Structure 1
């Protein structure tokens, strides 16, 4: 039997030869790998990649493999080299229906693979370096897109796992052609050189937004907007809330990449730039992913700085957002939100978005804004829901310029219309706006917004002080309930229902005027500053038409107003009666007040024509009766004013007055025919005796008062709207 020593020698020889053989195999393998022409493997790699991706894949240049010592490894692991693969001129094809042959091209792709994890079926790639990547994204009008890959289904889960730690590239380009959204963009992406903190980017964007706002609303408006924003931030801090964004569990990442874009959106020119975090940082749900953009679409500018939480699942947005543009209505084709036509505007606010399966919700909270010469602030929430999105919130203006409301109904000047891109021009001889309503936008979104104008800046002749409105849009029907103005110490409240779901638009309006003070109704008329009394009125109208002018031309209903128990300057009444002597007396020696028994106006509207059913003004000194009509179809006037004095008036040229012409250019004067008859009679009688010539100028007394009680009773009957 062999001894233990001989067995030991045998085992030793076997071990030596085995190790030698393994070393030889490794050496041969290393030499083979080092000397092997890996380009011979390209057809096999191209075929396997094409099958896996479902698209033609090709390495058109060299395929090289280099071995290098792993960085940062120690001990025995440091002696196991890592292969580094580099492939040149790679292409990934498009589906056959696209307009371009390639989905993506790369000048080169290079990456390392850790060797030892391969034994555990783990592919660990520390970094992938892309050289000049170019990606072409395309979507047709029928919904087909080239960025959705049809991958082969596997019956069993793969034993292999992949971990990628970093992705880097020097320059990249993305081309987008989306026929569904009508977007064409060419986007360039590059590294920033060094990471930028979100605070630094925010300061840069604040300065840029201030400069852009000055170009839109003027330097003074931009300074006022900055003051509003600072005031809102101070108020938020005092209330214990952060003025920018809510507290985050982890600090946001730094910006790593910059991008710029040019193209068109719905045939409108688009250009902009921005910054984002590292591409692979999108996988880290614990740290907010940074976003920044400054984009101009036509005459609208949108800028934002903030973060996206859990990018892989689009959990939430937290952004500081600025809007600037020629009119708020221009946001509709960009954001799909229906807003009114306005003068140039600029806003600054905080946008929070909850991206959820049931519908995304975005809240633009605590924003400050300038619209024309008016300030705005408030909160708006947009909910993406079916069948239409929903916009709701509250808006307040502490100082509202009345002229800034004109574009809402198309009542601004033609120069203003041109600035906000409206081609319809207002005829110079018409008062009612002819610009049509955008009823198609009413059917695109539901709205519930309250607006408060606490103080109005206006023409001194306008006795309006404040405004409150509740605007609701549902199923294409726009309602104002109420639309309330503070007027002359009283209120002018109305309810409007504009049904834009039909063509033409159907409108119903109810208006109530209460406690309007006579003195305040004419703040610039000296003769009315001693007037007392109040005006109360009601109106109900229906109409058809897609513009204010068309609605006026088809109006049906009734309008009623009543003045009771007041006083008015006698001078005003004497001027209306053309009582020459008394006017001269009042001018020289002062004014006196006369009592108003009643004043009543009762118009009936029929197909745009307002007929004066009752229009009378009765005081101690006289009665004025008006008859005729106002035709809103062509805005013409045909009214006759009959002044009737009470008591004896010497040197009275009392004669009927007329009001003709149009609302834009009224023609008011004396009925020359009646006045000529009086003059002729005076001359004829003057031939007999000089005293007799005064007889035609002596106004007979009309001491029978207008039946005020009957008028009041009639006026208390509510007006009726047309069918």
Structure 2
């Protein structure tokens, strides 16, 4: 009986299972029939409304909405017999905000995708691929920073229990337009999938070849070849460091993945091997304008599948021209959705580094055409991003440039810091920095202001409006300067500091004639007009090295030491010179000079001929001093005197830096008896660009008239005017050197230099042998003590 009940129970269960299976089969059949026969276009209003509420924008499907069934594309075993639903919709639009100039933020001809069925049981929505047909996106931003790509998504009070996993996005072509009023950008980009994946190593090689051809266009083939050698040397150093890092990693037991050793799949740096880099899958081209400058370019990025892993480097490549600047890069972005980090090989070429300002916001000086390449690494941080252009090499004009720069996005202004070195610096390549290059060079770098043909001092204005955009702390060393043989300059060092619109060079130091010429320059660009302060020290300049190509000066001994203090206002070098106030002082200590020079300066004809034929003697310089005062751009000679055993020479007059004209008189006074002397004042007149040196014709005419008159009486008497009597009254050297101990001073920028009393020794006409011709103001001003004596100069 129990057995009968068991058989009955089993039969009941079997019937129940059969009914359940039957019901499920019917339900599945009904669902299949429903899905196949239902007009899904009737669901479009409901879908449009739900999506519009979710994204805060009007969403519409204006074409057909379909649902079908397909076998899974990649499943195996029994799973491949479970069909997946396939959804497709045509003519989709997403509206723009009311203020946008375009009607739609995005349009799409068609979208279709499949959904895996079995993961739905675990509340996972798995979409292997979304196919997009002709997507088009319009991006807009206004000056008040409103933009159309920020959506207001409806926030649910309860966390969703469903998870969405999208594996890939496929499309044939797409278009992106950008209209940005803040950056004055109006650009259009086309995107498309590549025919086949491109490894990063191959892209690196192609970009390197293309960029080096571009470098040759900017700095010439010779410059590009030298840049190649510089870059190869830097790459060898980088590879050596990377090998050491890899060896260290292997020794510690953390050997890199074998795939990472391929140049096509990974990047190895001195920090060690990076994770394998996926290939490029999407290409793009762009054209339009940025900051009112023409833009064109192309590049590649990784496929959408590569975006899934935030820890895996995402490959990027770009080759873009913005105006006359060419920017190319190959490398990776970590977590591109949030721009966590950059690691790029970066090439830059352009007509002038100053043209990077509209693109990057980094203030750089005007330069000759340049080309650089190096590694750009960076971290995007909320508190301030940091980017490093590491160990880059470059050519600027005909000079090399190497170093590292760091950009820190701090508040209130970013900071650019670093150290730069030029091993072979062409002196002419420094000219564009102060606008001293030719008009042809100015035109090439886009500078509209031309240098007047009659002006020697640069009139091109400083771009002080850019000085407040960024702070700077950069050191530059020019180890060897290539220049005209007549220039006794050997090297250069400067420390550039810019803070809130104030530019300082502390110091700007040149190696000159075996000594140094060091200046501290402060330019306050926050004021209008610019206010400048300058202090200069010349130390141990060797006389013979100051005139390297003058044979008669090569036996000269002695040093030139001096100090200057000036202040000025104006927005160009010429304007600063034209308004300068202050003092300039210099003296020569413990020296000798060619006697031929001294006799020629005194126009002692017989002695000049004798020295030319037989003389090789040098004469001792007892003392030599120069003291100029600058008042509103006019340099007046308070003292300019040279005393030797053979002669005393004085100079007076002025130099007008506003008109760039000179009017100087040179007065020689011989010591000892001279026959056939045409001793007469000399002059230096004219402009800086066209100076004239000659003999005072009036004095010579008087002496010549005397020769003729006496010659008519007695031929031997004609020699009397040509005989120069001895003038054995030397300069008061001790007093001169004592007076030179007072350091030069300058008033605040924009104020006139206060007059000072004449040196004590100038109160006696005889003491200076004519030095009293230099008229000095009578009003006195306190002098500041400074180490300017001969002994102190020797010890500097």
Normalising by structure 1, we get a TM-score of: 0.97
Query: Secondary structure at 2:272's aligned position in 1?
Result: coil
Deviations 1:324-382 (A, max 9, x none): 00111111111111111110000011111011121000011111010001001011100
Cα displacement (A) at 1:600: 0.8
Cα displacement (A) at 1:153: 2.0
Is the contact between residue 506 and residue 545 of structure 1 (CA under 8 Å) also seen in structure 2?
yes
Aligned pair partner of 2:700 in 664, 675, 678:
675
Aligned pair partner of 1:405 in 430, 435, 452:
430
Deviations 1:218-253 (A, max 9, x none): 000001001001111223344546985643452111
Partner of 2:741: 716
Aligned pair partner of 1:67 in 54, 66, 69:
69
Is residue 445 from structure 1 mapped to residue 447 from structure 2 by the alignment?
A: no
Partner of 2:517: 492
Partner of 2:332: 307
Cα displacement (A) at 1:720: 1.0
Is the contact between residue 283 and residue 312 of structure 1 (CA under 8 Å) also seen in structure 2?
no
Q: How does 1:221-260 map to 2 (within 5 A)?
A: 221-239=223-241, 240=244, 246-260=271-285
Is the contact between residue 467 and residue 486 of structure 1 (CA under 8 Å) also seen in structure 2?
yes
Partner of 2:771: none
Is residue 209 from structure 1 mapped to residue 211 from structure 2 by the alignment?
A: yes
Is residue 288 from structure 1 mapped to residue 288 from structure 2 by the alignment?
A: no
Aligned pair partner of 2:138 in 136, 140, 143:
136
Q: Distance in 1 between matches of 2:27 and 2:699?
A: 130
Aligned pair partner of 1:49 in 48, 51, 55:
51
Is residue 627 from structure 1 mapped to residue 652 from structure 2 by the alignment?
A: yes
Is residue 276 from structure 1 mapped to residue 278 from structure 2 by the alignment?
A: no
Q: Distance in 2 between matches of 1:96 and 1:480?
A: 52
Is the contact between residue 245 and residue 319 of structure 1 (CA under 8 Å) also seen in structure 2?
no
Is the contact between residue 244 and residue 350 of structure 1 (CA under 8 Å) also seen in structure 2?
no
Is the contact between residue 245 and residue 318 of structure 1 (CA under 8 Å) also seen in structure 2?
no
Deviations 1:523-550 (A, max 9, x none): 1112212111110111111111111111
Aligned pair partner of 2:539 in 511, 514, 519:
514
Cα displacement (A) at 1:8: 4.9
Is residue 601 from structure 1 mapped to residue 587 from structure 2 by the alignment?
A: no
Partner of 1:702: 727
Aligned pair partner of 1:34 in 36, 43, 48:
36
Q: Distance in 1 between matches of 2:217 and 2:704?
A: 64
Is the contact between residue 245 and residue 272 of structure 2 (CA under 8 Å) also seen in structure 1?
no
Q: How does 1:107-122 map to 2 (within 5 A)?
A: 107-122=109-124
Quickly say closer, same or farther: Cα 1:241–1:687, change in 2 above 3 A.
farther
Quickly say closer, same or farther: Cα 1:379–1:72, change in 2 above 3 A.
same
Query: Secondary structure at 1:432's aligned position in 2?
Result: coil
Cα displacement (A) at 1:620: 1.3
Partner of 1:78: 80
Aligned pair partner of 1:473 in 498, 503, 506:
498
Partner of 1:197: 199
Larger mean CA deviation between 75-84 and 126-135 belongs to 75-84
Q: Distance in 1 between matches of 2:73 and 2:289?
A: 47
Is residue 654 from structure 1 mapped to residue 679 from structure 2 by the alignment?
A: yes
Quickly say closer, same or farther: Cα 1:71–1:614, change in 2 above 3 A.
same
Query: Secondary structure at 1:203's aligned position in 2?
Result: helix
Query: Secondary structure at 1:711's aligned position in 2?
Result: helix
Q: Distance in 2 between matches of 1:513 and 1:368?
A: 33
Is residue 320 from structure 1 mapped to residue 345 from structure 2 by the alignment?
A: yes
Is residue 690 from structure 1 mapped to residue 692 from structure 2 by the alignment?
A: no
Is the contact between residue 68 and residue 85 of structure 2 (CA under 8 Å) also seen in structure 1?
yes
Q: How does 1:543-562 map to 2 (within 5 A)?
A: 543-562=568-587
Cα displacement (A) at 1:509: 0.8
Partner of 2:396: 371
Q: Distance in 2 between matches of 1:266 and 1:145?
A: 18
Quickly say closer, same or farther: Cα 1:508–1:14, change in 2 above 3 A.
closer
Larger mean CA deviation between 237-246 and 304-313 belongs to 237-246
Cα displacement (A) at 1:15: 4.1
Q: Distance in 1 between matches of 2:727 and 2:245?
A: 73
Deviations 1:461-483 (A, max 9, x none): 00000001111001211111111
Deviations 1:276-313 (A, max 9, x none): 10124223123111111111111111111111123233
Query: Secondary structure at 2:108's aligned position in 1?
Result: strand
Partner of 1:461: 486
Partner of 2:589: 564
Partner of 1:19: 21
Quickly say closer, same or farther: Cα 1:58–1:413, change in 2 above 3 A.
same
Q: Distance in 2 between matches of 1:573 and 1:241?
A: 68
Quickly say closer, same or farther: Cα 1:328–1:244, change in 2 above 3 A.
farther
Quickly say closer, same or farther: Cα 1:36–1:643, change in 2 above 3 A.
same
Q: How many residues in Structure 1 have an aligned counterpart in Structure 2?
A: 723
Deviations 1:58-105 (A, max 9, x none): 112111212011233344433321001111111111111111111111
Query: Which stretches in structure 1 are left out of the alignment for 5+ residues?
Result: none
Cα displacement (A) at 1:637: 0.6
Q: Distance in 2 between matches of 1:352 and 1:395?
A: 18
Aligned pair partner of 1:163 in 162, 165, 168:
165
Is the contact between residue 244 and residue 320 of structure 1 (CA under 8 Å) also seen in structure 2?
no
Q: Distance in 1 between matches of 2:528 and 2:537?
A: 28
Partner of 1:337: 362
Query: Which stretches in structure 2 are left out of the alignment for 5+ residues?
Result: 247-267, 749-796
CA RMSD of aligned residues (A): 1.6
Larger mean CA deviation between 57-66 and 164-173 belongs to 57-66
Is residue 583 from structure 1 mapped to residue 608 from structure 2 by the alignment?
A: yes
Query: Secondary structure at 1:535's aligned position in 2?
Result: strand
Quickly say closer, same or farther: Cα 1:264–1:213, change in 2 above 3 A.
same
Quickly say closer, same or farther: Cα 1:559–1:669, change in 2 above 3 A.
same
Q: Distance in 2 between matches of 1:289 and 1:370?
A: 31
Partner of 2:415: 390
Cα displacement (A) at 1:10: 5.0
